[in-house]
């Protein structure tokens, strides 16, 4: 059996970050990835919010990395049966360094990022399915790999193999996630020339934008998104798995109707479909994060449930990168101490609590529960459309005050108890 100082399972953003940083500390680290290349199993909307730890590891990251566009514009659109209402935010402060975030084309970015890990000394093996952990006297000592690869030994293993991490479940450190704590992300990549993207989305140079859509999922809890790359557009949906199952609808049908809806179809006109993918996303929020360490073992990224939404932001990749970094720092501490016990590796979870990762997830702890309210994705989009349609209507009749229009429309579609309850819960989750 081969032996290394550390094993990382999974070559996503958390895994590559962990391996890169471990290698920078002079340790012999091996990454095992079941896909045919690093990042092959990844699905990404997407936008990478600014993540200083990656800039610390790789000076000149922003200038060298194959980033697509820096995002200067955010648009939220509420769709109803007959209307669309948008709120647009654009900031000149996002148009220069330090940029607020970038869109990515993951096949290119992941290949580049994995190569940086290799250049720093990390070993990466693909087409390797890790089936379980080697445990001796309750201490993880390595992993078992299917096929002829055999077993691999190391005093510490970092699991970064996704929300359905089989080794983590076999080790008893996490359980099979419930459908109510999972989202299904589906995304298509469309090719469109740079000039048309800029004109259509109101951009110049390498500016980018993100667009989020609410009310586009036929009452299923979830939403839609569009992100601009240089010569491609990512469009997709994120759907709560339990809500999708209860509906009896298929994700593919919902997606087809989403991209065919007028506000979306106008943005995708003339674009050519080149790629389609799907991926499960952790949606349990702060309360869905398991214990992140045990003897000889750490968990990072989606495996650790590190993803959250507050209704406007959906963040995961930056949390994955940061968790991989702090896992690596904790691995190095363990080597210096000569101690790989859970007590020593607990420093990892302490680091995450001190960082933006668990602080942000804790701030929006109640949002995960609030976002399970079906009315947010059915009644309220229709209500907003009704109110605005009446506010802007010109029909020769005397106008009513906007407050009265809103109250009358709300009474038509909601009872007062539900409305009051939603206002209270919404306020508690966001304020």
Q: What is the 3-state secondary structure (H, E, C) of 279-297?
A: EEEECCCHHHCCCCEECCE
Residues comprising the chain, all counted: 431
- Give the per-residue pLDDT at 149: 64
- Among 328, 418, 257, 272, smallest CA distance to 31 is for 328
326 and 340, same domain (yes or no): yes
Place of tokens 């929020």: 285
What is the model's pLDDT at position 258?
Answer: 97
Predicted confidence at residue 1, as pLDDT, reads: 65
Average pLDDT value for residue range 277-300: 93
255 and 266 both lie in a single domain: yes
Longest Cα separation, the chain: 84
Query: Where a domain ends, among 282, 304, 320?
Result: 282
Question: Domain check: are 335 and 421 in the same one?
Answer: no
The predicted pLDDT at position 338 comes to 96
CA distances from 80 to 47, 171, 222, 389 (A): 26, 46, 14, 11
Residues 166, 27 share a domain: yes
DSSP at 368 = H
The reply to whether 264 falls in a domain is yes
pLDDT of residue 95: 95
Taking the C-alpha atoms of residue 260 and residue 327, their distance in angstroms, rounded to an integer, is: 43
Range of the domain at 405: 369-430
Q: Determine the average pLDDT of the residues in 160-167.
A: 89
Clarify whether residues 126 and 61 are in a common domain.
Answer: yes
Same domain, 344 and 375: no
- pLDDT-wise least confident of 70-84, 258-272, 402-416: 402-416
- Name the domain count of the chain: 3
Task: Decide if pLDDT at 375 tops 90.
Answer: yes
According to the model, what pLDDT value does residue 148 have? 61
Q: Which residue has the tokens 């299923």?
A: 220
The predicted pLDDT at position 143 comes to 95
- Neighbouring-strand partners of residue 392: none
Q: Note the pLDDT of residue 430.
A: 80
| Residue 303 domain-assigned (yes or no) | yes
| Strands 207-214 and 29-32, sheet pairing | unpaired
Confidence class of residue 160 from pLDDT cuts 50, 70 and 90? very high
Residue that wins the pLDDT comparison between 170 and 342 = 342
Whether residue 90 is contained in a domain is answered as no
Percent of the chain at pLDDT exceeding 70? 99
- Return the CATH number at 318: 3.50.50.60
Helix (H) or strand (E) holding 29: strand 29-32
Q: Region 182-194: what's the mean pLDDT?
A: 95
Residues 246, 315, single domain; the answer is no
Quick one: pLDDT band at residue 311, thresholds 50, 70, 90?
confident
Residue 390's Cβ-count burial label (10 Å; 0-12, 13-18, 19+) is middle
Helical ranges in 220-366 per DSSP H: 241-247, 251-260, 262-268, 317-337, 342-345, 347-354, 356-363
Higher per-residue pLDDT: 331 or 37? 331
DSSP state of 65: S
Q: At what angle do helices 13-24 and 317-337 cross, to 10 degrees?
A: 30
Q: Are residues 258 and 388 in the same domain?
A: no
Which residues are bridge partners to 17 per DSSP? none
Whether residue 38 is found in the same domain as residue 145? yes
Please report whether residue 76 resides in a domain.
Answer: no
Q: Is residue 360 part of a domain?
A: no
Average pLDDT over residues 362-385: 92
Region 343-358: mean pLDDT is 97
What's the CATH code of the domain at 249? 3.30.9.90
Question: Quick check: 369 pLDDT over 90?
Answer: no
**Nearest Cα residue to 75 out of 183, 223, 283:** 223
The token duo for 61 is 């990251």
Read off the pTM: 0.94
**Between 409 and 46, residue with greater pLDDT:** 409
Q: What digits encode the pLDDT tens for the residues 385-408?
A: 999 999 999 988 899 999 999 999
CA 190 to centroid of chain Cα atoms: 20
Q: Is residue 75 part of a domain?
A: no
Residues 293 and 418 in one domain: no
- In a domain, residue 56? The reply is yes
In this structure, are 35 and 166 located in the same domain?
Answer: yes
Residue 381's φ and ψ, nearest 5 degrees, are: -60, -40
Task: Say how far apart CA 126 and CA 112 lie, in whole Å.
Answer: 15
| Residue 141 to residues 1, 2, 6, 27, 135, Cα–Cα distance (Å) | 12, 12, 10, 16, 6
Mean pLDDT of all residues in 231-238: 95
State whether 40 and 155 are in the same domain.
yes
Of the residues 256, 282, 308, the one at which a domain ends = 282
Q: Give the Cα-Cα-Cα angle 258, 259, 263 (nearest 5 degrees).
A: 90
Q: Which of 234, 260, 282 is the last residue of a domain?
A: 282
pLDDT of residue 312: 79
Q: What angle do CA 159, 123, 154 make, to 5 degrees?
A: 50
Give domain status of residue 74, yes or no.
no
């Amino acid at each position: 059996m081969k032996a290394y100082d550390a094993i990382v399972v999974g070559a996503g953003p958390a895994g590559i970050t962990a391996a890169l940083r471990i290698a920078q500390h002079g340790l012999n680290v091996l990454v095992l990835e079941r896909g045919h290349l690093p990042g092959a199993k990844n699905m990404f909307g997407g936008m990478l919010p600014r993540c200083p730890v990656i800039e610390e590891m790789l000076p000149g990251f922003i200038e060298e990395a194959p980033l697509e566009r820096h995002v200067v514009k955010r648009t939220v659109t509420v769709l109803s049966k007959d209307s669309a209402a948008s709120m647009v935010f654009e900031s000149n402060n996002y148009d220069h360094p330090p940029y607020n975030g970038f869109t990515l084309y993951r096949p290119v970015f992941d290949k580049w990022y994995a190569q940086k890990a290799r250049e720093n000394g990390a070993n990466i093996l693909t087409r390797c399915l890790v089936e379980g952990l080697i445990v001796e006297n309750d201490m993880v000592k390595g992993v078992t790999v299917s096929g002829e690869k055999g077993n691999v030994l190391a005093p510490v293993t970092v699991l970064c193999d996704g929300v359905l991490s089989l080794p983590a479940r076999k080790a008893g450190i996490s359980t099979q996630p419930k459908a109510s704590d999972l989202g299904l992300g589906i995304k298509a990549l469309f090719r469109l020339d740079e000039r048309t993207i800029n004109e259509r989305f109101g951009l110049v140079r390498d500016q980018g934008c993100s667009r989020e859509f609410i009310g586009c999922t036929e009452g299923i809890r979830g939403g839609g998104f569009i992100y601009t790359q240089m010569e491609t557009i990512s469009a997709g949906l994120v759907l709560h798995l339990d809500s999708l199952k209860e509906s009896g609808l298929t994700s593919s049908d919902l997606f087809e109707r989403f991209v065919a809806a007028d506000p979306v179809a106008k943005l995708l006109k003339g674009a050519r479909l080149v790629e389609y993918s799907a991926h499960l996303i952790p949606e349990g929020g702060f309360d869905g994060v398991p214990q992140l360490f045990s003897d000889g073992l750490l968990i990072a990224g989606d495996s650790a449930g590190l993803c959250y939404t507050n209704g406007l932001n959906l963040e995961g990749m930056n949390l994955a990168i940061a968790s991989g970094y702090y896992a690596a720092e904790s691995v190095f501490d363990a080597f210096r101490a000569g101690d790989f016990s859970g007590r020593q590796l607990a420093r990892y979870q302490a680091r995450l609590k001190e960082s933006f990762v668990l602080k942000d997830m804790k701030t929006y702890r109640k949002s995960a529960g609030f976002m399970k309210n079906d009315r947010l994705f059915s009644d309220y989009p229709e209500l907003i459309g009704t109110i605005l349609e009446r506010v802007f209507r010109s029909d020769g009749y005397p106008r009513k005050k906007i407050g009265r229009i809103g109250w009358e429309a709300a009474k038509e579609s909601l009872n007062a108890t539900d409305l009051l309850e939603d206002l209270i819960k919404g306020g508690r989750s966001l304020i």
